Amino acid sequence: MAKSNKNSLLISLFLFLGVLIFGYYFSVAGDKEENIKIEKAIFLPPPIKTDTINSKLDSILKRYQSKTFFNGSVLVAYKGNVIHKNNYGYADLRKKTPLTDSSIFQLASVSKQFTAAAILILVDEKKLKLTDKLRDFYPQLPYEGITINHLLNHTSGLPLYFWYADHVWKSDTPPTNEQMIETMAKNEMKPFFAPGQKFEYSNTGYFILASIVEKVSGQTFSNFLKTKLFDPLNMEHTYVYTYPFDSIRPYQLMGYQVNRRGRAREIPPFLNDGIFGDKNVYSTTKDLFLWLKGLNEGKILSQNSLKLMYTQGKTNSGWKAPYGMGFRLENRNNENVIFHNGKWNGFRTSVKNYIDNDIWIILLNHTNYSNVSGITRQLNEFLKEEFKENNYQTEQKNQN
């Protein structure tokens, strides 16, 4: 009888384990299927025939890669759908290891749009107001009258934190955000101008905004972006990285200095690489496309906050600045553009939305090649002409 009970117990145990394994398998399979659905939904063919366009875009970019030291990944979208996505050049320029869709780039100042979005999320959650003062959060800083809005619009007048790192910071280890704020408090430097007096692009304002996000949310900036932005939008290869405090991730790229002879050297980290908010978000072209799509579809911010991101800031005199919140806003050659470029440690990046024709161009490059804006302009001009001259309306009608 005892032996029978023992056998029954073993059978029950095996059945229980089988149910657990079966359930886990189908749970994982379900997750994978959901990811496939998301992938298909995002990368559906656009409402026009794009084989020829894709081929011509590829030819343009291959010429840049072969004749210059442009080396990166490019994604082009039209009316919310990807029409071109490819990689040009190498992940490791000396070993000639090719770039892949998994290669992850430092975004440099393109990171600022995530900092601005984080602040606006806290505004939407009523944990913060745009009229709140900088000294409400950091009373030790000697800068009166600066608001969150001034920081977002680059109208604060704050001095350059780079100067403190180069002239005041004594350690070989890069300062953290909080350490830099304390350094600025102890070594007072006059502001460039009174709050709101004029527009002047400020990395200092954006690193302080990221610090305010941490103070208000009670989370690290990295975790806040992950939980509020990256995870909800399935941005699996996007994160905050600061040297030397974080570990280098798989497929994370280094920036390169390339000389006129084509010789490349890695650019090592230095003292300002510990600061985040103005830079130090890493990502891929695909993840940035998911971000822009999700942002513009209202998945992250309220309609009011999204409108603020895309509204020009104003100085005290009423002059409109060419900047909203995390994005530059310009009219070039009678064409409206929402964009941001980035430049840091060998990385040159650009994210542009040509509004009038609904064209998005995302370009990530990890060399010191300086003409990324020239590439995006040429791609945009080509697309405008291609859509206008090659029976675009007819093709669209036939496919519908």
Strand partners, 323: 328
- Look up the CATH number of the domain holding residue 79: 3.40.710.10
If one counts the domains in the chain, the total is 1
Mean pLDDT in consecutive groups of 10 residues from the start of the chain, 400 residues = 46 43 38 40 55 92 93 95 95 95 98 98 98 98 97 98 93 96 94 97 98 98 98 98 96 95 91 97 98 97 97 97 97 91 97 95 96 94 84 39
> Taking Cα atoms as reference points, which of 188, 112, 15 lies closest to residue 344?
112
In angstroms, the first-to-last Cα distance of the chain is: 74
Distance CA 134, CA 255 (A): 34
**Within-domain flag for 6:** no
Identity of the amino acid at 3: K
Q: Report the 10 Å Cβ neighbour count for 324.
A: 20
Q: Report the 10 Å Cβ neighbour count for 228.
A: 20
**Within-domain flag for 3:** no
**Within-domain flag for 80:** yes
**Within-domain flag for 216:** yes
CB < 8 Å & 24+ apart, contacts of 236-241: 236/287, 237/102, 237/104, 237/282, 237/283, 237/284, 237/286, 237/287, 238/281, 238/282, 238/283, 238/284, 238/287, 238/288, 238/291, 239/281, 239/282, 240/276, 240/280, 240/281, 240/282, 241/106, 241/280, 241/282
Q: If you count them, how many residues does the chain have?
A: 400
Specify the pLDDT at position 148: 98
**Within-domain flag for 59:** yes
**Within-domain flag for 26:** no
> Taking Cα atoms as reference points, which of 190, 192, 185, 145 lies closest to residue 168?
185
Distance CA 319, CA 312 (A): 9
Find all residues with CB under 8 Å of 190, minimum gap 6, and list them. Answer: 159
Distance CA 209, CA 151 (A): 7
**Within-domain flag for 14:** no
φ, ψ of residue 351 to 5 degrees: the values are -130, 120
Hey, what are 241's tokens?
A: 């990285």
Specify the pLDDT at position 47: 53
Strand partners, 283: 105
- Contact present, 78 and 70 (Cβ < 8 Å): no
pTM to 2 decimal places: 0.87
Specify the pLDDT at position 332: 82
**Within-domain flag for 133:** yes
- Contact present, 273 and 169 (Cβ < 8 Å): no
Question: Do β-strands 239-240 and 105-106 pair in parallel, antiparallel, or remain unpaired?
Answer: unpaired
Hey, what are 199's tokens?
A: 């527009």
Q: Report the 10 Å Cβ neighbour count for 278.
A: 24
Distance CA 396, CA 83 (A): 14
Buried b (16+ CB within 10 A) or exposed e, 81-101: bbbbbbbbbbbebeeeeebee
Find all residues with CB under 8 Å of 16, minimum gap 6, and list them. Answer: none
Query: Which whole-number Å values give the CA distances from 283 to 73, 212, 309, 327, 393, in the listed order?
Result: 11, 23, 21, 17, 35
Query: Which range marks the domain in which residue 228 is found?
Result: 51-399
